[in-house]
Amino acid sequence: MDLNVLLHGDFAALGQAISDWDSLTKRLETLERDARDNLKAKATRARWAGVNATVTREFVAKTADEFTDAHTQAQSVANILRDTREELISYRDHLQEVIENARKKNLTVVDDGCGMFHVQMIVHPDRAAKGTTVPEHTETDEELLREEVKRVLTKATESDSTAAHALKSLVDSVEEGFADSAYGDRDQAVAAEKQAVQDKKDAEQAARLYSRLDSLSDEELKQLAELTEKGKNSPVFASELVKNLDYRGRDGQEALLLLSQSLTGGGRDGRDSTAERRLREALSTSLATATRPGSPLGPNGGTPSEWTEKLLRTAREGNGLPAQHPGSLAGGATGLGLLTKLMGSGSAVYDSSLLTATGDEIRDYETHTKHPYEGIADNWKGTQEDPMSGLMKAMARNPEAAESYFDPHRNDNLDYFLKRRDWPGGDVENKMPQDLIDSSARHYLGDALEAASTGHAPGIMAPAIPARHDPAQAAVFSGVVSAYGQGIAGDPAGGMPAGLRHSMGGMMADYVGDVHQILGQDRTNPTDYSGLDVKAQDLVPVIRAMAEDGTAFAKLHDAETSYVAQELDKYDGQAFVREDAPGAKELKAFVGQSNMALGQMDAVRADVIYQMGEDKKSVNAWNKMMQYHVIGAPVTGIPLAGDTIQRLVDVGTAEYQNNLNAEVDKETRQNLAGHFSAGHRQIDAMLERAVHSKVPENQWYLMYQDPGQFERGLQKGGLGEYNDGLTLGVGSMGKPAG
């Protein structure tokens, strides 16, 4: 930067530019908020079908996201300009101070142009006049002045040039649309540029180490793991790495798949070492990062890049080399499996474009191949080697992508996976040991369906009970219920696969508000929370099939107990003991619904125990799944609002477990009302606890008045509803088991 430019430059124009960018940013912020809260939110909630459910919703979502990126980019530009202007002004002020101090020693600096300047002595016209004294200076003073001015100009030049480079890089970082990189100032932008340079160098080094994977020392393996973990979330590192891989004489996509093969299933020496597991998981994250939107290899307008499309072709077709060649890559189920095993590793979150494209590729392969899974189709190994396994694991980590993939308004994937797909090993799946069931492809399908229908990764309870779900999520849940709600009794051949039971419990728990209304009310309209149009006679068989897994059934019971507790807490204490109190009629109706719902659940539990017959070991094991392991404070795993609600849950679950039946014989099975009461006793215990919490002790006697709101309206009325629920539950299960 020239001396005169810094000293006399007009920064007013730059200030006006910053003001213009600030104004633009504020307008974009308003547009972003409108696009997110109005356009996108309404499109998500809309009950669209056909073209509107596919093209329009996707277009609206993409448009709304573009407004977000536009606002982010505009804010970054304004921040960089503002920071640079402030820096340049500070350098100008410092330069003026340096020059002023130099005058005191009779020195100044002169601009030579092109960034050059020289130091010279100030010539005074009256220097020779009698009595005139001129400040003296030394050569050291001249040198110090020269160096200080040079330092200030260098810093100003760096500030100006790096800002320009950062702004250009920000604009050029994406081919279409706007960048989502957020920079608070020029320093952050410059640091990001420097980091990108370092990430590229690290990626090149990691690629060189990967090329020698088979012969790396333990120290080199550790170094490679550290490099890949450090850069796995950097788009620059990730894209440079996967593009430049070279392994066993093959490069790019082939090398990536060969590395997946080498790092999967025992690693290089038949043992899956910690270092190799770290490498596999980091490589998976690198692939996810490299193929996400905004990354160099990411999708264009939602369509996978050419690099990604070649990866899918290579996985499906292989490379045609003879099997004895060290770089031989088999295609078909093997190649696709190598890709999805890598995608399923670790905790990488893949973009929906790659997830969907991979699913489409596998489905196209298996529907256009005569024997797609020959050799593993009829045995348990098929459930482990199915290429859909790793894909579903990855899909479950991106609920939004899973929702889109299984949304029946958009495609027929849900119907294909639930009804039409010939699952490898499916005929023996229900006979496998539990550990194999829990690692089967169908189990991971369940995880993906749970993510799609709930909007969160599996294993995470709803943040609030009752939870609400958008139309696409509700459609997925309804589709699963429809597939397994056709009068199933027990879990016969053709019933719910064992691998789906666990996730079905998670889905039921998340939809407990809807489940409660379906089981407890005789509804002719959709449920209030998620708009489900499902009947009890269709839902109960699904609960029965799911209940083969006691843990899955316990999830639903936990959620129902929590829902009942939260609803009971909403009523004033007088509604529990006085028929004329505000809310008393509504409370009576709700208590009846709760008894009805738990009655049908207990009918399911009775059928499970009856089917087990005299196998007390199995009965005890199932009941143990229903136990709570913290004495005095049952653990539901569901977040609750307040101590009062927690106490209601505690007393309800404790009462329920104390009344679990150890066995159900034929006589009991035919007269459940005479032998089953756990659900009703649970409600009664929760009602009594509510009174003790909400009503003064001197009014507790009102609970025992008969007739009275508590004794007749809530307790005895609830018992009648509970017994009706037992009867309805048996009827809804179709032909009773046994």
**pLDDT-derived band at 737, boundaries 50, 70, 90:** very low
For 531, other C-beta atoms within 10 Å of its C-beta total: 18
pLDDT tens sequence across 577-598: 999 999 999 999 999 999 999 9
Residue 48 is predicted with a pLDDT of 59
Per mean pLDDT, which range of 172-181, 444-453, 600-609 is the poorest?
172-181
Residue 51 is predicted with a pLDDT of 56
Residue 506 is predicted with a pLDDT of 93
Domain ranges across the chain: 3-184, 192-372, 391-546, 549-737
- Where do the DSSP E strands lie in 44-126? 107-113, 116-121
CA distance 496 to 489: 10
Residue length, the chain? 738
CA distance 373 to 87: 65
pTM: 0.77
State yes or no: pLDDT of 439 exceeds 80. Answer: yes
Residue 6 is predicted with a pLDDT of 78
Per mean pLDDT, which range of 438-442, 538-542, 551-555, 614-618 is the poorest?
614-618
Pairwise pLDDT comparison (18 vs 600), residue with the higher score: 600
Pairwise pLDDT comparison (472 vs 732), residue with the higher score: 472
CA distance 210 to 257: 12
The answer, yes or no, to whether the previous bond of 466 is cis (omega within 30 of 0) is: yes
CA distance 327 to 256: 11
Non-local CB neighbours of 296 within 8 Å, separated by 6+ positions: 235, 236, 239, 290
**pLDDT-derived band at 448, boundaries 50, 70, 90:** very high
Residue 647 is predicted with a pLDDT of 74
- Report the amino acid identity of residue 404: S
Mean pLDDT calculated for residue range 486-504: 72
Residue 132 is predicted with a pLDDT of 55
Residue 642 is predicted with a pLDDT of 60
User: SS3 of 619, please?
Assistant: helix
- H or E, element range at 161: helix 139-172
CA distance 152 to 714: 84
Residue 514 is predicted with a pLDDT of 97
pLDDT tens sequence across 599-650: 999 888 888 877 776 666 666 777 676 654 333 334 445 555 566 677 777 7
CA distance 650 to 684: 13
Q: How far apart are the first and last CA of the chain?
A: 91
Residue 15 is predicted with a pLDDT of 78
pLDDT tens sequence across 516-533: 999 999 988 999 999 999
User: SS3 of 110, please?
Assistant: strand
pLDDT tens sequence across 404-433: 999 999 999 999 999 999 999 988 888 899
Residue 639 vs residues 462, 464, 567, 646, 686: alpha-carbon distances, Å: 8, 7, 15, 9, 18
The secondary structure of 554-580 as a DSSP string is HHHHHHHHHHHHHHHTTS-GGGGT-TT
Mean pLDDT calculated for residue range 292-303: 85
**pLDDT-derived band at 45, boundaries 50, 70, 90:** low
The sign of the dihedral angle between the CA atoms of 393, 394, 400, 406 is negative
Pairwise pLDDT comparison (660 vs 35), residue with the higher score: 35
State yes or no: pLDDT of 736 exceeds 90. Answer: no
Are the C-beta atoms of residues 732 and 602 closer than 8 Å to each other?
A: no
Mean pLDDT estimate for the chain? 83
Burial of 255: CB neighbours in 10 Å, binned 0-12, 13-18, 19+: buried
For 693, other C-beta atoms within 10 Å of its C-beta total: 16
User: SS3 of 454, please?
Assistant: helix
State yes or no: pLDDT of 566 exceeds 80. Answer: yes
Mean pLDDT calculated for residue range 386-406: 97
pLDDT tens sequence across 47-92: 555 556 555 666 666 666 677 677 767 777 777 677 777 787 788 8
Return the DSSP state at 626. T
Residue 631 is predicted with a pLDDT of 30
Per mean pLDDT, which range of 106-120, 446-460, 546-560 is the poorest?
106-120
